[in-house]
Chains A and B, each alone.
Chain A
Amino acid sequence: MWHDAGVGFDQYHEPPDELSHQTRTFARLCSSLTEEAEAIGWYEQRLDVEADAEAGAIMRDAQGEEFKHFCMDLEFLLRRTPLWREIAMGILFQEGDIVAHGEESEEEAVEGAAARGAPLAGGTSLGIGALRGAAG
């Protein structure tokens, strides 16, 4: 069974044994991304109130680690989700109106994918990827 004693599976909203291993990995990385974003926010608040310069330097260093982890999680998820990646490319690192870029990027990416019959979650590939853990 999936609910081994003492192990938490809060990142799953559906029974894990009904999910593919790719989706389980995807969900784990989504949870990790959330946790890194939370940690970045916490360090930001701590730095805001910390008066000790040495303690502040340590927190700033720790926050840098969280920036890195967040970016690595995000890059993994974008690589595995071409539609998400395509939308992100229209928004991230662009000058100008963020909301306008978001609307345009989403429209172009979703319509383009639907028009070419591409699977929205798997891009042009079949999304099979690694199968370790899929066999028993």
Chain B
Amino acid sequence: MSHLLREHAPITELGWKMIDEEARGRLTPALAARKLVDFAGPHGWEHSAVGLGRTTAVASAPTDGVSALQRRVLALVELRSSFSLAREELRDADRGAADVDLGALDASARRIAIAENVAVFHGWEAAGITGIVEASSHKSIELGEDCERYTRRITRAVETLLSVGVGGPYGLALGAEAYTRVLESSEQGGYPLLDHLREIIGGPLVWAPGVHGAVLISQRGGDFVLDVGEDLSIGYDHHDASAVELYLEESFAFRVLEPDAAVALTL
């Protein structure tokens, strides 16, 4: 039995299949960080920390004549987003209903995906995670709200990375607001801005809910690592006569290995 306790939930095999598929479908488009940074794992629920290869001096030693260093690690954080499903809806799903209300699951998936994006791009101080934007060694570039300037600004961001020897292709995480603007815009001659930006960066342009502005990231690899213990899973908490309480969960840490490899663009 895994710690997710799925077998204790009053949910049939068909019900679990529907829930898992719905979660996968909702999570995948929103998990922007995983589309742009290296992914290590999943190493399992028991995986607790990532070795950093660094040490801290220990102030005192048990006896005279010895010295000590303590290894530094980055502890994984467990992220959980709870949701409740009506048992009547689950029973209807078993009867073959195709319009089951899984709205709470959808909202939960959106919350945890945004949390992962925010932790990776903007950091999570309380969990010891430094995000890409705060770690970047480059001055941020103003993206602004005027789409006509986006091509020039993003070209400048590419030049910034090239100038310090960080090669492409590059990926662009666009916050929801900026993404919509890009999607709606075309340049003179009607050429879609989205396609032009893709040509400039040479890599993926990703919808990144939770990201403020945009972030240009080298896709050469080895610069940013998402270390995952337990990958996104659904577990069971408790139930009563009318509802089942479930949760989405993952454990991860995030490391910036090369602060030169990303540039933030602000709105």
Of A115, A125, A128, A131, which contacts B7 at CB under 8 A?
A115
For residues 101 through 129 of chain A, which have their beta carbon under 8 Å from a beta carbon of chain B?
A: 114-119, 122, 124-129
The answer on a CB contact under 8 Å between B34 and A124 is no
Whole-angstrom distance between the Cβ of A92 and the nearest chain B Cβ:
18
Whole-angstrom distance between the Cβ of A69 and the nearest chain B Cβ:
20
* Cα–Cα, bound, A101→B204 (Å): 47
> Smallest CB-CB separation from B39: which chain A residue?
A130
Given known pairs A114-B13, A115-B7, A132-B39, the reply for A126 and B31 (CB within 8 Å) is: no
B230 at the interface (CB under 8 A from A): yes
Of B11, B27, B206, B228, which contacts A117 at CB under 8 A?
B11
The answer on a CB contact under 8 Å between B204 and A135 is yes
A-B contact sample (19 more), CB < 8 A, given A124-B233, A132-B34: A114-B13, A116-B6, A117-B6, A117-B12, A118-B6, A126-B20, A126-B24, A126-B27, A126-B232, A126-B234, A127-B24, A127-B231, A128-B24, A129-B231, A130-B39, A131-B34, A132-B39, A132-B219, A135-B32
The answer on a CB contact under 8 Å between A128 and B6 is no
1/0 per residue, CB under 8 A from A, across B218-261: the answer is: 01000000001011111000000000000000000000000000
Q: Which residues of A contact B (CB under 8 A)?
A: 79, 114-119, 122, 124-132, 134-136
**Residue count of chain B within 8 Å CB distance of chain A:** 38
10 cross-chain CB contacts under 8 A: A118-B2, A118-B6, A124-B4, A125-B232, A126-B27, A126-B234, A129-B34, A131-B34, A132-B35, A136-B205
The answer on a CB contact under 8 Å between B233 and A117 is no
The answer on a CB contact under 8 Å between B1 and A116 is yes
> Smallest CB-CB separation from B43: which chain A residue?
A79
B23 at the interface (CB under 8 A from A): yes
B168 at the interface (CB under 8 A from A): no
Question: With a CB–CB cut-off of 8 A, which chain B residues contact A117?
Answer: 6-7, 9, 11-13, 15-17
Whole-angstrom distance between the Cβ of A62 and the nearest chain B Cβ:
29
Given known pairs A114-B13, A134-B35, A135-B35, the reply for A128 and B4 (CB within 8 Å) is: no
The answer on a CB contact under 8 Å between A125 and B231 is yes
